[in-house]
Amino acid sequence: MQTLTPKVLVIGAGTGGYVAGIRCGQLGLDTILVDGGDGLGGTCLNVGCIPSKAIIHAANKFETVARAADGGTLGITASKPAVDLSKTVEWKDGIVRKLNGGVAALLKKARVKVIKGWAEFSDAKTCTVKTADGDITISAEHVILATGSEPVELPFLPFGGDVISSTEALALDKVPNKLVVVGGGYIGLELGIAYRKLGAEVAIVEMADRILPLYDKALTDPVAKWLTSHGVELHLGAKAGSFERGQLNITDKDGKALKLKADKVLVTVGRRPRTKGWGLENMGVAMAGPFVKIDKRCATSMRNVWAIGDLTGEPMLAHKGSAQGEVVAEIIAGHDKRFDPVTIAAVCFTEPEIVSAGLGPQDVEERDDVITAMFPFMAIGRALALEAGDDGGFVRVIASKTDHRILGIQAVGQHVSELSNSFAQMLEMGALLEDVAGVIHVHPTMGEAFHEASLRALGHAIHI
């Protein structure tokens, strides 16, 4: 059996693991990356963030042509469109392959050795990797755990056949006539909306009394309005049951039993850290509930064992894992670093999109020392030109009354995901309302709404 002894061993090739590997390589650390999951790029690149946004983009294109065929739009008419989902998925897979190749090239450039196989730890620093060419033992000075997460399976709705997770939803060869989505969070809504645009009849079953329950109602109302106006059935306060003979059993908010016809049932009730099957129990690290417990350095309770990404808890976001991976690599290389961000912005790629960074209304509702101001996209010329001004969208800022430091920024509207980095940057640099107000924002752009919301918080918005 071959034995390897690198300085750093990274377990998991997702957005946290491969970034950690590249940065370790850049810093001259002898590094091995073990890829035992979805492939280089992990869930995000292969069966999550990237492919889902590709399908959403294709769905948006199809909807635009469909509108042009149904009486025309913007003076444009077209013939009735058709979609060959297998070709759409083939296009999506091409994007994934291109990005896989890009990650592989970056790892090679950084001199990171990639081993394809499943690792199992016997102690905190030693594992056996089962590969196609036989077993390899690896004993490292430092171990970075980046095993990611996996979809939660309901015991009464096990995955298989016509009960699918988001992974299978991104690989269907045809649009289902009737799709029932169990779970009204961001994954279920993103995919449910995309399939509605592609022509499926969609129903959503959510236990909470509204969709996207982690966001405040003002942000989610425009999404709920879109769902209702586009014929999506909403069963809120409802519980899903078994799926039998093409029908999903549910209990509605009043306790009434209903049966929903479905060609496919998409279960999106959350994700859990991938902690089983690779010997975590043999490593002696402390846990924080279902997650691996870490400190501000992403260090576990075991010396020189580090953990990053979804394995370490909420928020389960790809960009959090990547940032943690860079921090850990630099610490191992001897730099004084901490993972202590002011904010980690989150985006829902729904219709319309939602962005949230920093504190929200629910976080400051008991406080009288904050200013909250909102500016609607209906007063922004660029939004109107993009047909993005009449969906109830807005930008909202929350700031301290005393020093005007910005505490939180939220937005809902078409294309607002592209504002997320600006929001995070302003919060990270400790910007004041005056800082945003003093920046000359390009006209015409969607970002003008951020400028105007800040001006409004200061009491002198121009365009409202």
Query: Which of the residues are catalytic?
Result: 443
Phi and psi (nearest 5°) for 236? Answer: -95, 150
Q: Which residues pair with residue 408 across a beta bridge?
A: 358, 398
Name the 3-class secondary structure at 149.
strand
Amino acid at 216: D
CA atoms within 13 A on the CB side of 358: 26
C-alpha 8/C-alpha 330 separation (Å) is 12
Report whether the peptide linkage leading into residue 155 is cis, meaning its omega lies within 30 degrees of zero: no
Q: Dig out the tokens for 439 from the structure.
A: 């920046």
Q: Dig out the tokens for 417 from the structure.
A: 């995901």
Instruction: Evaluate whether 309 touches 302 at the Cβ level (below 8 Å).
Output: no
Q: Dig out the tokens for 84 from the structure.
A: 């060959």
Q: Which residues pair with residue 410 across a beta bridge?
A: 356, 396
- Whose tokens are 């236990």? That residue is 207
Q: Which residues pair with residue 291 across a beta bridge?
A: 288
Instruction: Evaluate whether 373 touches 406 at the Cβ level (below 8 Å).
Output: no
Q: Are strands 287-288 and 291-292 parallel, antiparallel or unpaired?
A: antiparallel
C-alpha 309/C-alpha 324 separation (Å) is 7
| DSSP of 52-112 | HHHHHHHHHHHHHHHHHHTT-BTTB--PPP---HHHHHHHHHHHHHHHHHHHHHHHHHTTP
